[in-house]
Structure 1
């Protein structure tokens, strides 16, 4: 099995593609094309930065990466030079170190998340689609799903107890807000008549119709 030589990760300003130290460029292109093809347009419209764990590719190689990225509807950020990789703090650590002064940023996910797909973000997440069983969404802020939430959702990482989770249909396999955890009931529940919101009330996660939230 070939070593994973490139990794795609979301950041507060877009996507970062990290190239492993000593990676063969042909293998980098092959794996990157394979990963982007498997995502089926999931990253379309995103701005991409490149980071290298060791050294730096030539201008021609960066141009080849930019061409491949462009073929999948993304753009390479050339405003800043390609940088060497340095490990970033975890989402929780980043939030504790620097809470945004003018409100959190929001990541817009314009598709349904299928089983095995995971989105972790320092800020809020809005999913324009469903979160299917086996998919996972986690962030430091709020989670809004404009569809059905049937996977795992964790809002308020770093103990943000004021975070909330909203969905047109709220049926998560596991729901977490800060350090509070709620699981789906074993027995089938009546279908809600409209959107629902989950938040922490009296030291437990409470789910209520969105129209009644805050009343």
Structure 2
């Protein structure tokens, strides 16, 4: 069974490390793959560096395991690891957000027809059913399930963000900006960030980009 999937993308490659594979099996496949890739690159422009973005699916590697992967790939001078990301949020990150004074923990189940508003930032581990609305004056960090509407930065705080998986949500709002997700092909993971960009439009990114998207918030909560 193949536990390493390689796909090309603009400017480099995407490596998916299947969560079902043992780490030793993944390392073995990576070793074989990069021997082959190195041979294919031989004779080409030696100054061109090929970058790899690595997705570990819903699995968190330890820092030691990440270093082992990076060292394996970067023993070949023409290859570089650009980032290693997972589709899950660490409990440490969730606890760090909760420990901030302005962040409220909510386990509510918001049913169809219900609207709930929370002052400040909220770490939401409950559920919003279709027809329900979760509204916060600050940012919303989603660990629970959103099938209805999530509205951060109410009524006019454009610096607010929404972090989390909105793949089942009907709609996302920040301040007075709205995106109808039911009609969107936007892909989400638990590490997705929804925010208002410099053009005052709703935009999407990843937690790894938080330092650029919202530097003040990044400095407040640290790396996630």
- Give the TM-score category using the shorter length: 0.3 to 0.5
Give the number of the structure whose residues are more often helix, by fraction: 2
